[in-house]
Structure 1
Amino acid sequence: MKSAATAVSTIVALVLFRALCGDAKTVISVDDVQSIRVDLDLSNVARKVDERFLSVAIDASLIAEERFMNLLNSPKLRTLAKALIPAFLRFGGTKQDFMEFNPRGRYFQARENSSRAVLGNLCKRLELPPLLENRLKQEWVLQSKTLLQEELEGKYKKTKFSEYAVDLLYAFANCSGLDLIFGLNALLRTSENTWNSSNAELLLKYCESRQYVMSWELGNEPNSYEKKAGIRVDGYQLGKDFVHLHQILQESTIYNSTGLYGPDIGQPRDHRKDLLTGFLETGAEAITACTWHHYYVNGRDTSLEDFLDPHVLDTLATKINEVLETVESVSPGKKVWLGETSSAYGGGAIGLSDTFVAGFMWLDKLGLAAKLGVDVVIRQVLIGSGTYHLVDDNLDPLPDYWLSLLYKRLVGPEVLKAEVHMNFGPKKAIRVYLHCTNRKSTHYRPGAVTLFALNLNKNEATISLPTHLANSTIEAFVLQSAGEQNLHSRSVKLNGEVLKMVDDRTLPLLEGRELPPGEHIKLPGFSFAFYVLIEARAPVCK
């Protein structure tokens, strides 16, 4: 008996190993299919998030050498960015606290001329020629390695940027339809260790002269200032620094009503909780929303198994609740954002953060954050150094980009309740979330709802819906890894077709597959999907 049990254990382990490692010959038997029942509550909106809930970042490392800001003029990158609106575009990160505005003077022009140039034909006039784009992309690969080494060594070079870089950034945001948030340097300090605002005021004056409408942040992860720069700023002082910036913005004719976000603190851990509390006690009134950062794992020592582990995914809920409780206790009603977030810190996990498997962390984060009450989630990064980007070094979309695009098109801001019931197997391995369908999508009737689901198992899951929805017409958008690398693939299939751009200015049609009425939903192993219940007639979604 013992040897037989051992043999069975060995076979189970071998099957799991093959599934994780991408053995295409693994066969799923009928007995392996999991049966799941999902309860959906269409009578009540549990929460409502900002319509720009899924937003993106450009890492400030792009400005370390100003010429790389020209990549923002790529027609391909603009096409990809524009497809994600409405969204915020955060420009910030570690590098923001090591950069200074250094105006050259020759870019100052009469307000009428400059604003007309930037907001008028600049979108077409500044487009990057293909030859220059290819050269910059090749050079960026080398630059990324330099920046990664800087991150590994923890030695950050100071950078100066000019009006030209600001113009390029604003033109990209404006031409793409994104709402820009610019991160200011908080490590410019006086001898009394208060924030020295003189450089920021210089930048604000320039942006105001160009009539650039944008929002602001001050500093990035202040909990790590001592480690990165040998400077310690407590929460109480940081809050006063934000009040100082708020007062400066109030005196501006353009920025007196724009957003100010902070403190962009790392996820709760020991003294960071005290820093956030101290900040809110002195600075809560100055900010539009409270921002914090989250990553699941260390990119240098994580594994494929971590990216599929329900317990790792569940750690997000603990962190979100800790931040929400802190904010509610000090500044009740203040909105909370994930101001920077991705899978793994330290620039991402090589071979994981830019592949199909990263989508499990990303989609679950979007579902869980909205469900628990986070108003905006800003993805690190659209473009920048590291391996957690949405587009690769050739500016081609990676799996998480396609996932983000589908989310934008199908998922509305209204959060509804969904609950999983399983006959057997680990419940947490099948995760579902429910929203009203994006009402801006003219393809669906009012009252439609979107169920999105993740299957962290190798086994197919059969999902049955409540009786009153069982015969609803369902449009399915199933995402699976493409190619021989399986979960490590940098390509993704939608309903069996590999997704790729038609050309640099054209995205493919993202078409769903209509399921026969009354048929159970079949979610393949190691996949995630969106299901639009077209005839749900949810009164709260009309």
Structure 2
Amino acid sequence: MNFLLLLSLISLRTHGTRTGPDGGWALDPDPVQELDLDLVLEPDLSAVLRRVDPRFLSVTIDASLAAEESFMALLSSSKVRTLSSALSPSFLRFGGTRQDFMKFKPQRRKRNSKNPGESCQQLLPWVVEKQLKMNWTLQQQILIKEDLKRKFKKISFTEVTVDLLNSFSSCCGFNLIFGLNALLRTSENVWNSSNAETLIKYCQSRRYRMNWELGNEPNSFEKKAGIRVDGHQLGLDFLRLRELMSRSGFYRDAGLFGPDVGQPRDHRTDILGGFLQTGAEAVDAVTWHHYYVNGRDTSLEDFLDPEILDTLTSKTNEVMEKVKLLSPTKPIWLGETSSAYGGGAVGLSDTFVAGFMWLDKLGLGATLGLDVVMRQVLVGSGSYHLLDENLDPLPDYWLSLLYKRLVGPEVLKVRKRSGSARSKRVRTYLHCSNEKSYSRGSVTLISMNLNQNPSRISVPLVLSSSSLEAFILQSDRLDSRSVKLNGRLLQMLEDETLPDLRGTRLPPSDLLQLPGFSLNFFVFLDVQAAACL
């Protein structure tokens, strides 16, 4: 049945499709009335529109994981490390709301001279992992109550947290970004850098390769802690941190990113503008956060609404206009992002339907000019995580892994002409293919169908004459925590073994058919696109 299901993805001129006995799409042997054409693609393969960072799809670990330091040991799970390593190269941001309530308190005990990051085989015993996962369920309830009350406890962390983060990031091929507490302030409301100096000295003594941030969503400092910091002062605080990094020697050339403001609204753009006027020279990239909806009052329909997806364009353009005016050479990153704020939408942000927001954000973000997009969160609290409470991969993990393997950093221009009123619910983006997986010259079409019924895309001769591989992600239910690739359920074979994510070869055709509610990658193998050579 899988073979028939995949054949139906190429819409032949003399055949239609029907629903097979197992719910999959199959070839109909008798001609039927053709479906309306939804989209006509006209790609420009002569030149690269723009290039994103090779670590474009990056991930975060929320600082809430360290609210009880023992849970940091979950990063030594063999399953977590196997799944995480498959997403490299990537930045790993450690931060979030609780980073501004954390203070480094070293134990100063005698330590081995060996760098913990060099010992990638020291994995978490299964019995300990099982107990931590059970305890984590209870810990999440505590964290949720704190979030609802907006009363955050002060947290102390030791070398254990830093060592585990370094080991995890270095063993998995991540570039670590550590978020420092910006709410440690003097009576003059200037950042008190003494605790950061202690932490930096420790990290330097261990030769840990790290990058840095200062503060999380400064626009919400007053609401979270009753402290107001304007953009001008925040910029000066970043200059102070850059000075510390330079003085350390070891971190002179390390990355510093910020200010991690929330998406544009009210005074948030004022904070960004003030920051850029005083602190732009301190940072290597300007970071901001984006979520589409409120996780507490959203709906499944919101996750499929093209108008909601399009809000990313207006928010991104607003940030870009501000940055280009005040610091035109700075790259712009989404330093934290997911579907719904407030910890995600329960039963939605961790299910198949969340993939439409996630894949569209990756495609649209790269086209708009974002250089890095950091997904909240790899593992930790909330409902928008990539790994569930048992540390098993959720649908957005598999989607991220496919993106990493199939999509290269070169963004290509593609003009889209509407073929029907439903075209707004068919969304496409085009990149050169990942050269680690495919030969130069091949291109990858990212597509999604937000319609319940199948949709058809017309491609020009330069693509239709090429053989291709199809990767079709579907689920039995939109709110399911499982996903199928080309009709086959995706799941780990064992803790250290991922399934084969092989696509299916399809013959050349000038029409592509997308199943209803599907996320798709089509790799055109024989194009020899000039932009990708």
TM-score by length of 1: 0.92
Q: Write out the 4+ residue segments of structure 1 that deviate beyond 3 Å after TM superposition.
A: 23-35
Unaligned runs of 5+ in 1: 1-22
> Partner of 1:364 in structure 2?
360
| 2:470 matched residue in structure 1 | 476
Contact persistence 1:492–1:498 (CA under 8 A): yes
Query: Cα offset for 1:270?
Result: 1.1
- Choose from 319, 329, 336 the match for 2:315: 319
Corresponding residue for 1:136? 132
Distance in 1 between residues matched to 2:89 and 2:306, nearest whole Å: 30
Q: One-letter code of the match for 1:208?
A: Q
- Letter aligned with residue 455 of structure 1: N
Whichever residue aligns with residue 512 of structure 2, its letter is: I
Deviation (angstroms), 1:169: 1.1
Over 3 Å counting, the alpha-carbon distance change for 1:348 and 1:511 in structure 2 is: same
Query: For 2:117, which of 116, 119, 143 is the aligned residue?
Result: 119
Q: How does 1:56-455 map to 2 (within 5 A)?
A: 56-108=59-111, 113-115=113-115, 118-120=116-118, 122-125=119-122, 127-441=123-437, 444-455=438-449
Instruction: Identify which of 479, 488, 497 aligns with 2:488.
Output: 497
Contact 1:100–1:160 (Cα < 8 Å) also in 2: yes
Q: Size of the alignment, in residue pairs?
A: 509
> Which AA in structure 1 matches 2:61?
I
In the alignment, which residue of structure 2 is the partner of 1:466?
A: 460
1:38 lines up with 2:34 in the alignment: no
Measured at CA, do residues 401 and 107 of structure 1 come closer, stay the same or move farther in structure 2, by a change above 3 Å? farther
- Please give the secondary structure, in 2, of the residue aligned with 1:431: strand
Note if contact 2:457-2:513 (Cα within 8 Å) is conserved in structure 1: yes
Supply the AA of the counterpart residue of 1:526.
F
- The answer on whether the counterparts of 2:259 and 2:288 sit within 8 Å (CA) in structure 1 is yes
Q: Flag the 1:107–1:491 CA change in 2: closer, same or farther, 3 A.
A: farther
Q: Distance in 2 between matches of 1:418 and 1:476?
A: 19
Shift, 1:149, TM fit: 1.1
Separation (CA, whole Å) in 1 of partners of 2:436 and 2:110: 40
Distance 1:32 1:51 in 2: 38
**1:541 corresponds to:** 532
The secondary structure found in structure 1 opposite 2:403 is helix
Superposition deviation, residue 108 in structure 1: 4.6
Deviations 1:192-238 (A, max 9, x none): 00000000000001000000011000000000000000000000000
1:491 is paired with a residue whose SS is coil
* TM-aligned CA deviation for residue 31 of structure 1: 5.7
The SS at the match of 1:170 is helix
Distance across 2 between alignment mates of 1:406 and 1:468: 24
| Aligned position for 1:517 | 508
For the residue of structure 2 that corresponds to 1:81, the secondary structure is helix
Q: Which moved more, 1:288-297 or 1:508-517?
A: 508-517
Q: Tell me how far 1:440 sits from its aligned partner.
A: 1.7
Conservation of the 8 A alpha-carbon contact between 1:354 and 1:390: yes
CA distances 1:394-441 after superposition (whole Å, capped 9, x unpaired): 000000000000000000000001232232223211110000001122
Structure 1 residues 386 and 119 mapped into 2: Cα distance closer, same or farther (>3 Å)? closer
Distance 1:497 1:146, change over 3 A: same
Q: 1:355-401, CA deviations, whole angstroms, 9 ceiling, x for partnerless residues?
A: 00000000000011100100000000001110000000000000000
CA contact (8 A) 2:38 2:426 kept: no
Q: Deviations over 1:89-113 (max 9, x none)?
A: 000000100010011110555xxx2
Q: One-letter code of the match for 1:530?
A: F
Contact 2:459 2:510 in 1 (8 A): no
TM-score, normalization: structure 2? 0.93
Q: Provide closer, same or farther for how the CA distance between residues 32 and 538 of structure 1 changes in structure 2, counting only shifts above 3 A.
A: closer
Structure 2 spans left out of the alignment, 5+ residues: 1-21
> Larger deviation: 251-260 or 99-108?
99-108
Structure 2 counterpart of 1:12: none
Amino acid at match of 1:396: D
Q: State the Cα distance separating 1:464 from its structure 2 match.
A: 1.9
Partner SS state of residue 404, structure 2: helix
- Residue aligned with 1:487, SS: coil
Inter-partner Cα distance in structure 2 for 1:142 and 1:439: 44
Partner of 1:18: none
